[in-house]
């Protein structure tokens, strides 16, 4: 019979880790909606506290909820369009990400169209720099599964980027 864990103390998690969750959210979506999304993430944690199985640390579980909250926020077309019109690219564009505005716009659009599973794994690997083993531990699956999904992500990116690569711009002279 599996061990039954006591429900998580969400109040203690908030007290001890709300700054980490806020940093995560600010990095992905910017400052403007950070407070709202922190509250959404902790509301999700409260609603799901019975589902915590102890496979990862409570902090990793909370980090995963914060990431998913951000990804869902970014997928909201109306909100995303308003944010882009008002503020330009989101704060999670890293300095080492592609430097052209067109490349960043392509990546933001691609990220919003990806299935949740691929977007989440891509976020952990490419934005956070987690290894396949670390992602597997966080998500409770095998490293091999993560490797396959990262390959599926690469194939999807190549496929979606193909039309861009075929564009030919004539020199201005």
CB atoms within 10 A of CB 72: 14
Instruction: Report angle CA 142, 143, 149 to the nearest 5 degrees.
Output: 95
What is the structure's pLDDT at 40? 94
Q: What average pLDDT is seen over the chain?
A: 78
pLDDT at 84 over 70: no
pLDDT at 103 over 70: no
The residue that leads in pLDDT, 37 or 105, is: 37
pLDDT at 33 over 80: yes
- 129-139 pLDDT tens trace: 888 998 998 88
What residues contact residue 13 under an 8 Å CB cut-off, 6+ apart? 42, 45, 58, 59, 62
Please state the three-class secondary structure of 99-157 as a single string.
CCHHHHHHHHHHHHHCCHHHHHHHHHHHHCCCCHHHHHHHHCCCHHHHHHHHHHHHHHH
Top mean pLDDT of 5-14, 53-62, 112-121, 138-147 is at: 138-147
What is the structure's pLDDT at 6? 65
Domains in the chain, CATH or no CATH each: 1-95 (1.10.1740.10), 114-162 (1.10.10)
What is the structure's pLDDT at 111? 75
pTM: 0.53
């Amino acid at each position: 019979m599996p061990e039954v864990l006591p429900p998580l103390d969400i109040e203690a998690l908030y007290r001890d880790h709300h700054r980490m969750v806020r940093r995560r959210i600010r990095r992905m979506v910017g400052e403007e909606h950070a407070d709202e999304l922190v509250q959404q993430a902790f509301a999700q944690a409260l609603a799901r506290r019975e589902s915590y199985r102890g496979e990862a640390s409570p902090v990793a579980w909370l980090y995963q909820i914060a990431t998913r909250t951000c990804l869902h926020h970014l997928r909201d077309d109306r909100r995303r369009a308003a944010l882009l019109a008002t503020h330009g690219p989101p704060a999670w564009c890293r300095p080492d990400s592609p430097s052209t505005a067109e490349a960043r716009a392509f990546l933001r659009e691609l990220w919003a169209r990806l299935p949740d599973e691929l977007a989440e794994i891509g976020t952990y690997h490419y934005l956070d720099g987690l290894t396949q083993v670390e992602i597997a531990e966080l998500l409770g699956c095998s490293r091999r599964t993560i490797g396959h999904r990262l390959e599926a992500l690469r194939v999807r990116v190549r496929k979606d980027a193909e039309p861009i690569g075929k564009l030919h711009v004539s020199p201005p002279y």
